[in-house]
């Protein structure tokens, strides 16, 4: 996939270009800068760095990578956080944008970034992450490159407190709902639906849910009540031959996907880039009539096409998948869809932070 978040020491990552958070002056700094010099070879790298001289904040310069598993080291100077009123955010955006532009100029096929300025420079990690995802996403909408965001551990990726709180509340609520649904075990489908409808009615009455809020809750009902309806909502096959049934089979995942793309008004390139899907993978989907995606791939397309929950469930079902009210991966993706948040890089950062596989 074009964009990935990985846990590793950036000096051990294999990529055409490694980005170093450099000291403005040609000397060995601390943090990532120190680690890069040590791994590449201090004497050789420092000699090359001195040829460049001072680098201004937000700018980038290139040296050979020496002993690293890369061709180039891109040295960029991040902003020291001074409260956010001295252009720090614009400087950080420039670090990513100019590093990506230089890597493209050097014809690099892959680049690895640390989370720039989030260490000793004190840039708030949640804002640093948002800027990184924004600039990388902007580049990948038109550029072709594998971009890696490298962190030492999941805790290094701090999401905003409001987002973490909302996700965790969503997970807690629906995991609790899953437990309650277990109480219905043994009841028939009609009785389970009656109990579930009664519980939902009481919840909404207690919370005074109406207007726009009721619409959102109804969309969640589609997600978590749908499994209870399967037993008595299957097509009627009595009196029909197997051939008749198969002749009336619905669209495959692939057929439905390309219909949705046509309806969206987006071209193929825009869709696969918004889905964090590699061009070769998308070409394979175009060519293979019996293509069956992984769940992460199917959901990535749902995000790219900005499908609501019912449409997402329909697309998933054509690949043989559904959502579970007790699976954290499903709950996190469902949280973003039901809240109308379709930035796949933000979704993947949240999935990574919670230890789940990412989309694409």
**33 among known catalytic residues:** yes
Place of tokens 């499994």: 227
Burial of residue 260 (CB within 10 Å: 0-12, 13-18, 19+) is buried
Catalytic position from the list 9, 16, 33, 278: 33
| CB 102, CB 66: distance < 8 Å | no
Task: Give the CA distances from residue 42 to residues 37, 58, 278, 284, 354, in Å, rounded to whole numbers and listed in that order.
Answer: 5, 24, 36, 45, 37
- Cα–Cα distance measured from residue 5 to residue 151, given in angstroms and rounded to the nearest whole number: 8
**Catalytically annotated residues:** 33
């Amino acid at each position: 996939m074009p964009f990935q978040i990985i846990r590793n020491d950036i000096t051990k990552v294999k990529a055409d270009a490694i980005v170093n958070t450099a000291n403005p002056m040609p000397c060995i700094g601390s943090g990532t800068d120190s680690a890069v010099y040590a791994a590449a070879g201090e004497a050789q790298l420092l000699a090359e760095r001195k040829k460049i001289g001072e680098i201004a904040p937000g700018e980038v310069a290139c040296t050979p990578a020496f002993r690293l598993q890369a061709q180039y080291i891109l040295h960029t100077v991040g902003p020291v956080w001074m409260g956010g009123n001295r252009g720090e955010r614009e400087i950080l955006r420039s670090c990513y944008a100019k590093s990506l532009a230089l890597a493209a100029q050097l014809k690099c096929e892959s680049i690895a970034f640390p989370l720039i300025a989030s260490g000793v420079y004190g840039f708030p990690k949640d804002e640093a992450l948002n800027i990184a995802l924004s600039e990388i996403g902007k580049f990948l909408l038109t550029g072709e490159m594998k971009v890696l965001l490298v962190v030492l551990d999941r805790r290094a990726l701090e999401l905003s407190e409001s987002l973490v709180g909302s996700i965790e509340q969503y997970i807690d609520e629906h995991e609790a709902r899953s437990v309650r649904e277990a109480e219905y075990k043994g009841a028939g489908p009609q009785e389970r639906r009656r109990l579930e409808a009664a519980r939902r009615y009481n919840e909404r009455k207690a919370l005074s849910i109406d207007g726009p809020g009721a619409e959102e809750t109804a969309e969640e009902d589609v997600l978590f009540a749908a499994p209870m309806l399967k037993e008595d909502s299957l097509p009627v096959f009595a009196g029909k031959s197997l051939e008749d049934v198969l002749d009336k089979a619905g669209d495959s995942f692939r057929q439905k996907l390309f219909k949705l793309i046509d309806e969206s008004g987006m071209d193929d390139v825009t869709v696969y880039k918004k889905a964090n899907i590699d061009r070769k993978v998308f070409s394979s989907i175009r060519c293979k009539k019996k293509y069956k995606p992984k769940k992460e791939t199917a959901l990535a397309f749902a995000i790219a096409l900005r499908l609501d929950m019912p449409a997402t469930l329909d697309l998933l079902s054509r690949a043989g998948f559904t959502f579970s009210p007790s699976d954290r991966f499903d709950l996190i993706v469902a949280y973003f869809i039901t809240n109308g948040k379709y930035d796949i890089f933000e979704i993947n950062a949240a999935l990574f932070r919670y230890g789940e596989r990412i989309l694409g």
